[in-house]
Structure 1
Amino acid sequence: MPFCSHCQTPLRSALWCSVCQHLQSNGLKADYFSVFGLPLRYDLDLKILEQSYHELATELHPDFFATAPVAKRRLSESLSARLNQAWQTLQDPTARARYLTGIWQSQTPTHERDLPTGFLQEMFALQEELEELLEAKDQQALAAKHADFLQRLNDLRHNYQQQLIELKENTPDTSFCKQIQQQLNAERYLLRLLESCSPISSEKDP
């Protein structure tokens, strides 16, 4: 747990001391979980996260430092930006998974481009099918393919999110990190396939 650089009180947020109201310059280097005083875990209470975000956003808002020295005003602006970055990342399940995996990889390096066994070959086959459907302009088949890709994506996300929720260790082993990274990489492929279908799907919308 970090301590206030001014009064040495344990911090609830790496950005700001709720006791002496001192801005924490070290907070600019803090990870997004420490910004909210949270442990490095995927499973978060989003209501508590949102409440903490709004409280900190109020305390750090640059308007409250309008008459402060220039250095303090700039620090409040930088800390507010850090807070917003942390909020945007942690409130999104996919972004949170990628960020947390990135932290783990700095401690337990893995191959960042690995994919699940057989996944790439399957994607090549699906890409060929999609190209044929796009060339034929088969709207019904394209809509069905879009639904298939979306279901695959949802299943993939559910799988890795459940694995992350059930994780007990704060720093998992290399095997677990590799498994999650592979699924996150697979997610990118599926998103690209979905994007290829999207223009066709949107043409059918009223």
Structure 2
Amino acid sequence: MQSLLLRASQRAFVVATRAPRTTLPRATAPRQRYLHNTVPRRAQSSPKACPVCTQPLPGPVPACTKCWNIFALPADVSHHELLGLDYDPNPFVVDLPTLKKRFRDAQSICHPDSWASKNPSQKDVAQALSARVNHAYQTLLNPLPRAEYILERNGVHISEVDQAQDMMFMAEIMEARETIDDAENPEEVRALLEENEDKISATVKELESLFKDRDYASAKAATIRLRYLQGIHRAAKRWLDNH
């Protein structure tokens, strides 16, 4: 294990994700930097009634099927609000069947095909709105982009070169990567994949608790770990597909 730790330090902790070699960033700032004192700016709200005919809109998407007018969405409307999901008390906890239903409902209203016979400006708005709905759905559907999105909304940025600071964890990641690279037996890779999936599940559970407590510094560290674990998941799946 000691030799693994040394090799992890020498290789700058980048084997798992195949990221470019970079100098290790400074250690994560103290928890109190992000804990409770970073308040996201208040988001604008999507209109609840049509600005033209004043009839209630069928959902959070600003498109009226009564008078057939569609409107641009305020830039800061959150993904949760756009898809009619609760942000509080825990934005990381998303019910996937509800998310998928809200996505289908939203797209049925704003999809460009529904506005094909309208004037060109309305179709352009529908295309932009449909793309935004799709982006919100894809972001909230999977734990990693969901965690990154919530952190960004709370002033905590994760860059592509951010790396885990836990050397024991990085040694495990390197060992898993080398197991995949040197594997000859599919059962060996399947066992590693199953173990890695357990780690992913545990990290997702950890993130649920951290976001509930608004501990964004620790949530950032857990999100970075999740990024590495998903990298191992993809590598193992790719190996199995090719063998």
Q: CA deviation at 1:70?
A: 1.0
Coordinate RMSD, CA, aligned: 3.4
Partner of 1:32: 79
Aligned AA (1:26): L
CA deviations 1:57-97 (Å, max 9, x no partner) are 22113233233221111111221222223233433xxx343
More helix by share: 1
Structure 2: how far apart are the matches of 1:170 and 1:66? 46
1:203 is aligned to none
Of 95, 98, 118, the residue aligned with 2:168 is 118
Number of residue pairs aligned between Structure 1 and Structure 2 = 190
Contact preservation (8 Å) 2:189, 2:240: yes
Match of 1:108 in 2: 156
Stretches of structure 1 lacking an aligned partner (at least 5 in a row):
201-206
Matches of 1:11 and 1:168, distance apart in 2: 31
Aligned partner letter, 2:150: I
Gaps of 5+ in 2: 1-43
Distance verdict in 2 for CA 1:110–1:55, change over 3 Å: closer
State the partner residue of 1:145: 188
**Paired residue type of 1:109:** H
Relative contact order: is structure 1 or structure 2 higher (C-alpha 8 Å, sep ≥ 6)?
A: 2
SS at match of 1:25: coil
Counterpart residue identity of residue 145, structure 2? R
Report the counterpart of residue 31 of structure 2 in structure 1.
none
Offset of residue 110 of structure 1: 5.1
User: Does the C-alpha gap of structure 1 residues 22 and 193 become closer, same or farther in structure 2, counting only changes over 3 Å?
Assistant: same
Does the CA contact (< 8 Å) of 2:210 and 2:216 recur in 1? no
**Match of 2:212, SS?**
coil
TM-score normalised to structure 1 length = 0.71
Mapping of residues 41-56 of structure 1, within 5 Å: 41-56=91-106
CA distance in 1, matches of 2:95, 2:219: 23
Deviation at 1:170, TM superposition (A): 7.9
Q: Does 1:98 align with 2:145?
A: yes
Contact 1:42 1:100 in 2 (8 A): yes
